[in-house]
Amino acid sequence: MTKYLYNPIVITGPSGSGKSELIQYIENTNPLFEEASGITTRNRRENEKGKMNFITLEEFEEYINNRNLIEYTIFNGNYYGVSKDELKKLNDKQIIFNVGYSSAKEIKQIDIETLMIYLLPPNKEELLRRLGSRDYERYLLGMKETIANALYYEYLLISKTDDFPSIYNDFMNITQKNNASEKLLLRKKYNRQFIDNFYKE
């Protein structure tokens, strides 16, 4: 396994947990951190911004044939993935991977020192507010993913509403693995209970 200067950082959470907003705040606050770029065969949306690269199906298949993807998935007929080339950036910056459980697991297998962070809002009501009343199916999907996979992660990070400085402080404590990060460990009983209770009616 190639060893890089920095270890990968994975942030996973259900839709509405605030992953993209948090990562953008981290990038704007600290230039040492950068979100990994993804690739997809879907068309770019109007006025779309972000770290997604849009390629043809033939180009994507070349990534697959060359085994140059950490993992890929197909959603609504479009291919999505993250190139292994993103790992090379770890020699210059701390790269944050905004990915689901299956990709997170692959990254952890590539680098056992990967920081695994699970992100949730402070409560179910806030998650539903962020999703909107018409998006209950995404809530149910998030519930299924969280219950099945959240305890695989090392740290629990709570995305407090409109309090990015506080969330960023917790994030930095995790990356530094200092004493303050101990309270965020998922092996702590109260953090496991938080996840167990999050989706209860």
Beta bridge partners of 52: 38
Q: Is the pLDDT of residue 2 over 60?
A: yes
Mean per-residue pLDDT for 89-112?
A: 92
Q: Longest C-alpha distance within the chain, in Å?
A: 49
Task: Establish if 97 belongs to a structural domain.
Answer: yes
Task: Establish if 189 belongs to a structural domain.
Answer: yes
The CATH number given to whatever domain includes residue 130 is 3.40.50.300
Give the residue with greater pLDDT, 45 vs 188.
188
Task: Establish if 165 belongs to a structural domain.
Answer: yes
Q: At 39, is the pLDDT very low, low, confident or very high (cuts 50, 70, 90)?
A: very high
Beta bridge partners of 35: 96
Tell me the per-residue pLDDT of 167-198, one tens digit each, with 9 for 90 and over.
999 999 999 999 999 999 999 999 988 888 87
Task: Establish if 58 belongs to a structural domain.
Answer: no
Grouping H, G, I as helix, E, B as strand and the rest as coil, residue 102 is helix
Q: At 40, is the pLDDT very low, low, confident or very high (cuts 50, 70, 90)?
A: very high
pTM value is: 0.88
Grouping H, G, I as helix, E, B as strand and the rest as coil, residue 27 is helix
Q: Is the pLDDT of residue 48 over 80?
A: no
Q: Is the pLDDT of residue 156 over 90?
A: yes
Q: What confidence score (pLDDT) does residue 127 get?
A: 82
| 51 token code pair | 């770290």
Q: What confidence score (pLDDT) does residue 126 get?
A: 86
Q: Which domain holds residue 138?
A: 9-36+92-198
Under 8 Å between Cβ of 10 and 104: yes
What's the DSSP call for residue 78?
A: E
Task: Establish if 53 belongs to a structural domain.
Answer: no
| 96 token code pair | 């944050």
Task: Establish if 73 belongs to a structural domain.
Answer: no
Q: What confidence score (pLDDT) does residue 29 get?
A: 97
C-alpha–C-alpha distance, residues 83 and 108, integer Å: 15
Asked which of 1-10, 32-41, 66-75 is least confident by mean pLDDT, the reply is 1-10
Give the residue with greater pLDDT, 63 vs 126.
63
DSSP characters over 34-66 = EEPPEEESSPPPTT--SSEEE--HHHHHHHHHT
Number of domains in the chain: 1
If phi > 0 it is left, if psi is from -120 to 50 it is alpha, else beta; for residue 132 that is: left
Task: Establish if 166 belongs to a structural domain.
Answer: yes
Q: Is the pLDDT of residue 106 over 80?
A: yes
Q: At 150, is the pLDDT very low, low, confident or very high (cuts 50, 70, 90)?
A: confident
Task: Establish if 173 belongs to a structural domain.
Answer: yes
Q: Which of 42, 46, 33, 102 is nearest to 72 (CA)?
A: 102
Q: Which of 124, 128, 119 is nearest to 198 (CA)?
A: 124
